[in-house]
Amino acid sequence: MDGSLGTASPLAELLAEIAAAAPHHDRDATFPSENFERLHEEGLLGFTVRRGDGGREAGLRETVDLIGALGQACPSTALVFAMQAIHHNTIARSPAWLEHLRARLGRHAAGCGALINALRVEPELGTPARGGVPATIARATPEGWLLSGRKIYATGAPGLAWMLVWARTDEPTPRVGPFLVRARSPGVRIEETWNHLGLRASGSHDVVFENVAVPQDHAIDLRVPGAAERPDPVQARWNAASIGALYTGVAHAARDWLVRFLNERVPSNLGGALATVPRIQEAVGAIEARLATNARLIRSIADAHDAGTGVPTIECGLLKNVIAENAIAAVEQAVKLTGNHALNRANPLERHLRDVLCARIHTPQGDSVHLAAGGAALGV
């Protein structure tokens, strides 16, 4: 989270490579496939996979430290990696997964670098975190299921080997849940629609499914609507700490560029570097306060989880929101301090600003967490 990895380690060298390529992938909105090839070479795409399946079985603290470092180098890469880590942690511990699928996915990730992510958002429904039944439908056949529908904002789509597709069945009483789909199955098509302000290299395109054959046992823990979205307190901790670490990493990258700029910038009417001005020092101190607060909050979630004490689900949502707003405010402060230089595309600060704004988009969003916390406090 704080970027202190040492300058001579293989991981530090890899992060430097990823950071060097990040501006080009952002400019061209290209998916950084080479980053995941290198992460696989370093044995990192099985980071949370069980040791018995060839993975590292890393805890939350170790995982968020790596996500934070990746976020500082390339947040698009960090987001895809975070989803990989979160889902494999869930797969490793959840009783909903059949053992043969758990082992297959784990070995595929650790041995081949296969990426996985959940595809949940739809054009009409939006995110299912706010309720509703997906339009994507799985029709029962004697061999299994035929899946049809469209998902949007499918992060990492060009690099995924597996997709967890949120869908409903065509049964008289529909059930909903994720269906495990091989990304290269016949009938799966990626439409390159991603053209956003931030995280431009994340490949979060639309994915269309047209009668995609899915084996019977690849339907994971189907439930009637309403029973399907029970909060998972463990995943809430992983999500809050991982997303928080990612965008705090972006804010660290902005802070590092700002510090260099302020030390190197010597206006002729000042006779010294901007870094020598007390007002500038105070403003940078405010950035440091936000980053230090985020680091403590992220570590508190991760350390409590790894120690088995945990953090309540509602609190995880609140902390995720506070961490996101701190990261955004830190980058915005850096922009205020540097004026036109901040918005010059020749400098990285405008990219960090665009990327960090995406922190607000991730579930749970601010209004939802405040509503849940307020309702709990008021007993309603």
For the chain, the domain total comes to 3
Q: What is the pLDDT of residue 265?
A: 93
pLDDT tens-digit map of 15-63: 999 999 999 999 999 999 999 999 999 999 999 999 999 999 999 999 9
Q: What is the pLDDT of residue 371?
A: 95
Residue 171, pLDDT > 60, answer yes
Q: Evaluate whether residue 223 is within a structural domain.
A: no
| Rounded CA separation 277/270 (Å) | 9
Mean pLDDT of the chain: 94
Mean pLDDT of all residues in 187-192? 98
Say if residue 371 is in the same domain as residue 284: yes
Say if residue 276 is in the same domain as residue 348: yes
Q: Evaluate whether residue 363 is within a structural domain.
A: yes
Q: Evaluate whether residue 106 is within a structural domain.
A: yes
Q: Evaluate whether residue 212 is within a structural domain.
A: yes
Q: Name 183's Cβ contacts closer than 8 Å, sequence gap at least 6.
A: 157, 160, 161, 162, 163
Domain ends where: 90, 114, 138? 114
Domain with residue 186: its CATH number is 2.40.110.10
Q: What is the pLDDT of residue 226?
A: 73
Say if residue 214 is in the same domain as residue 291: no
Domain with residue 76: its CATH number is 1.10.540.10
Domain around 45: 10-114
Say if residue 169 is in the same domain as residue 191: yes
The residue among 296 and 133 whose pLDDT is bigger is 296
Say if residue 174 is in the same domain as residue 152: yes
Q: What is the 3-state secondary structure (H, E, C) of the chain?
A: CCCCCCCCCHHHHHHHHHHHHHHHHHHHCCCCHHHHHHHHHCCCCCCCCCHHHCCCCCCHHHHHHHHHHHHHHCHHHHHHHHHHHHHHHHHHHCCCCCHHHHHHHHHHHHHHCCEEEEECCECCCECHHHCCCCCCEEEEECCEEEEEEEEEEECCHHHEEEEEEEEEECCCCCCEEEEEEECCCCCEEEECCCCCCCCCCCCCEEEEEEEEEEEHHHECCCECCCCCCCCCHHHHHHHHHHHHHHHHHHHHHHHHHHHHHHHHCCCCCCCCCHHHCHHHHHHHHHHHHHHHHHHHHHHHHHHHHHCCCCCCHHHHHHHHHHHHHHHHHHHHHHHHHHCHHHHCCCCCHHHHHHHHHHHHCCCCCHHHHHHHHHHHHHCC
Say if residue 254 is in the same domain as residue 333: yes
Q: What is the pLDDT of residue 7?
A: 52
Q: Contact at 8 Å (CB) between 109 and 45?
A: yes
Give the Cβ contact number of residue 33 at 10 Å: 12
Say if residue 258 is in the same domain as residue 204: no
Buried b (16+ CB within 10 A) or exposed e, 341-350: bbeeeeebbb
The model's confidence at residue 2, banded by pLDDT at 50, 70 and 90, is: very low
Say if residue 244 is in the same domain as residue 355: yes
Domain ends where: 79, 114, 149? 114
Say if residue 204 is in the same domain as residue 167: yes
Say if residue 64 is in the same domain as residue 159: no
pLDDT tens-digit map of 307-354: 999 899 999 999 999 999 999 999 999 999 999 999 999 999 999 999
Q: Evaluate whether residue 227 is within a structural domain.
A: no
Domain ends where: 150, 184, 218? 218
